[in-house]
Amino acid sequence: MSEIDRKAVFRDAQGRPAGGWILWLPAACVAVGAAAFLYGAGGAMHQRAWQAFLVNLMFWTGLSCGAVMFSAVLIITKADWGRSIKRLAEAPVFFLPLAFVLFWVLWIGKDGLFPWIHEPVPEKQAWLNTPFFFLREGAALLLLALSAVGMVFTGVRGDAQLVGRKQGVLDLPEKAPQARAQTILANIYGIFFGVLLTIVAFDLIMSLTPHYYSTLFGAYYFVGSFFTGIAAVIIVCFYAKRRLGLGPYIRPLHLHNLGKLLLGFCLITADFFYVQFFITWYGNLPEETHFVLQRVRGLPWEPLAWTVLIVCFAVPFVILLSRRIKMKHGFMVALSLLILVGMWLERFLLIAPSLWKENSLPLGIMELLISAGFFGLVALCMLIFLNSFPLLPVSDPLFWKGLERVQ
């Protein structure tokens, strides 16, 4: 690359700080969502408020972990093609410490959320008891947050030092000084992503129906989280092109590869669902079949189950077969938004039937406002991150190699 090009890259890496309505809108969403939750939790709609809180905690925590995991995959595999969107994938990392804090809010509503507190299951009591449960989940979320933050800030520190220099911006490192440490932390985070999200899924979703068990349930949850994380990265890339001036660094190759990943994990998530369903059907055990039949055959959940199947798997599969569509960012953003809505409904379908005993579908303004509050919180975390750190990993030689290859 020429000297002028490199100077332009360093200038673009500093970004364009977001302000105005872009910050005020998510802040307003947080305020409205918090008010709706407090109003619902303190009144007659307390059950709906708490289950909506849990659904959103599981959805947005999984999405944030999945997006950061995309960055970890790039680091572990030494892939240079995606380095220019690496920082965008890491943007939700600030939400993970907040997820740890928000988890402890569940202590207040634990009596209405976890049936095993009032009706202990003797064979699972050593695992499902209040002190051990909250200490275990708190430790899992804390380790996820610390490993993710450590991995991200190991890379960000070198970028900030290089961008902040007054001179010598062309003296690029032949080898990233933080590469070894970041690779180690990325591998640790990858292990935690699989193991700890499995524990989180077992405890915060599967334990709501204490007699149900599935050894594949944790894998289904963290694979679905990576699926949502990729969809989120596609949307953030669109924002970065329009508002942050990163259009020259987000090329058709990036969209095509993200589209292929989205298709792949759409199929893997669907496959994990099918495998669980097949084993449950084949085993024909009441404690397993009830969980599935309640959601796919019982009212009011059956229409929602078909909606999730179509929106999350059938529609993306058909659309993502087209190479041309994968190269069109507007279409990919629309599809990603559809997938995120569908996966939120899927998390809702996993949680709500275990708690809600009425014949009506508990989806309304309460759930919408609480979801908006969580969306605002995640959006604020991402905007603060993108405003605070270089948008491009300029201290990483693989970034420059990938940049030259996609020009």
| 57, 151, 311, 333, 371 from 63: Cα distances, Å | 10, 17, 17, 16, 14
Higher pLDDT, 384 or 3: 384
Question: What are the pLDDT digits (tens) for 53-77?
Answer: 999 999 999 999 999 999 999 999 9
Is the separation of the CB atoms in 311 and 335 below 8 Å?
no
Is the separation of the CB atoms in 346 and 224 below 8 Å?
yes
pTM (2 decimals)? 0.93
The three-state secondary structure class of 168 is coil
The Cβ of residue 160 has, within 10 Å, a number of other Cβ atoms equal to 16
pLDDT at 177: 64
pLDDT at 47: 92
Task: Determine the Cα–Cα distance for residues 207 and 134; give it in Å rounded to an integer.
Answer: 13
pLDDT at 135: 96
- Residue 170 pLDDT > 70: no
The Cβ of residue 111 has, within 10 Å, a number of other Cβ atoms equal to 12
